[in-house]
Structure 1
Amino acid sequence: MAFYPALHNQSVLDFVLQHTGSVSGAVAFAIANEISITDDLVVGQNYLISEEIDTDTDISNYYDRNDYVPAGGVEFTVEPEFVIGRMVIEQSFIVKENG
């Protein structure tokens, strides 16, 4: 059992992949840390990697040797000129049937 800090832009899958070499333990990781696999990890917060989680040592060793850190989280902003605005279905946004 070990605790590791989450890094910037790491998703649950990124984090589990980095520390175990496989994403197959993502559900077990989420349960052990009382989070959902879709939750955003808190940067710098320590999360538990249990010894019961499946590991692929070839992959995890490769990441360690090459200082590879998976962090596929995406940050984006929408420019105001591209925003549709607020629309209400059947009032300002009309749904038409095809045909």
Structure 2
Amino acid sequence: MKITVRNNQSLLDIAIQYKGTVEAAFAIALANNISLTDDLMTGQELIIPHTKFYNKLILDNYQGKGFLPATAVTDDFVNKIDDPGIGEMIINVNFMPKAFKNS
């Protein structure tokens, strides 16, 4: 079966959506000659191979509720963040944890 990648979908999203298990991501990656960590492009076509990794319960739950997972974090998304967070901190150098007393 061939599918078309939706906006912000990762290989793990595809595996859950079409096979109900993240383990299927390995088979999908192999079938499409891509890495598990490759960014997928919206509109990209992927082959969903037959695989022993399949969870009908999860698949039926996602499909029954109309869930279309799209959890990829793209460089474009990260670049739009105004406050990138705390940055780099080193314990006991510029980050001093408080000691907890045992009760």
TM-score by length of 1: 0.73
Partner of 1:33: 32
**Residue 79 (structure 1) shift:** 6.8
Aligned mates of 2:59, 2:44 — CA distance in 1: 21
- What's the CA shift string for 1:53-72, capped at 9, x where partnerless? 51101111111111101111
TM-score by length of 2: 0.70
Distance 1:78 1:8, change over 3 A: closer
Q: Tell me the amino acid that sits aligned with residue 4 of structure 1.
A: I
Percent of counterpart pairs with the same letter?
33
Shift >6 Å, 4+ stretches? none
Distance 1:59 1:46, change over 3 A: same
CA RMSD of aligned residues (A): 2.2
**Residue 31 (structure 1) shift:** 0.7
CA contact (8 A) 1:33 1:48 kept: yes
Distance 1:43 1:54, change over 3 A: same
What pairs with 1:11-90 in structure 2 (closer than 5 Å)? 11-74=10-73, 75-77=77-79
Distance 1:46 1:76, change over 3 A: same
